[in-house]
Structure 1
Amino acid sequence: MFARIYQPAKTAMQSGKGKTRSWVLEFEQSAARRVDPLMGWISSDDMKSNQVRLKFDSKEAAVAYATEHGIPHKVSEPHGGKPVIKAYSDNFSARRRKPWTH
């Protein structure tokens, strides 16, 4: 079973960086999911890919855990985004490049 170690990105509903400091170890699916014919739910026999998600404080701790338990893993580095420092009043600034209209 192959594992992926990554730092989660913020959701679209967040403006801050909450809950993005930790590192996550998730197992990839070993079998395809299937649709239950009666209820229409999507299910899988693979418990690890559906229910096991381990959180660590650092990347080194996650890698150490995976190597200690003999889990093959791949580390995905986070993409460094450009920090945007902007205030609400900047929308109405006289130095604004584009006019603000509806």
Structure 2
Amino acid sequence: MAARIFQTPKNAMQSGKALTHRWVLEFEPAERKVADPLMGWAGSGDTQQQIKLYFTDVEGAKAYAEREGLEYHVIAAPERKLKLQAYADNFR
């Protein structure tokens, strides 16, 4: 069973950085999703996709994966760049 570990990204709709310090361990899909013939909804029999485990640091997530015998890969969060601007720059 494979898993991916990543840091929660910042919400695009808000400027705050709440909950971006958390690390998530998420299982990779074991089977592809298929459309239900009656309703048309996409689904699969893989129940591991429903599980998300939250950790305070990446070391804790790695330790859990190693303890449970999971293959994992860490997806590094992109570096945040601050675009500092003065209000007066709007009128140049």
Q: Same fold (TM over 0.5)?
A: yes
- 1:73 aligns with 72
Ranked by relative contact order (alpha carbons within 8 Å, sequence separation 6 or more), the top structure is 2
User: C-alpha offsets along residues 20-53 of structure 1, whole Å, 9 cap, x if unaligned?
Assistant: 110000000011001111111111110001x100
The one-letter amino acid paired with 2:43 is S
Helix, strand or coil for the counterpart of 2:5?
strand
**Retained in 1: the 8 A contact 2:11–2:17?**
no
Post-superposition, which runs of at least 4 consecutive aligned residues in structure 1 deviate over 4 A?
A: none
Q: How does 1:18-37 map to 2 (within 5 A)?
A: 18-37=18-37
Query: CA shift at 1:86, angstroms?
Result: 5.0
Helix, strand or coil for the counterpart of 2:74?
strand
Query: CA shift at 1:58, angstroms?
Result: 0.4
Query: CA shift at 1:76, angstroms?
Result: 1.0
Aligned pair count? Answer: 92
- 5+ residue gaps in structure 2? none
Q: Higher Cα Rg: structure 1 or 2? A: 1
- 5+ residue gaps in structure 1? none
Helix, strand or coil for the counterpart of 1:54?
strand
| Higher share of residues assigned strand | 2
- 1:17 aligns with 17
TM-score (norm 2): 0.90
Identity of aligned residues (%): 42
Q: Equivalents in 1 of 2:90, 2:85: separation in Å?
A: 15
TM-score (norm 1): 0.82
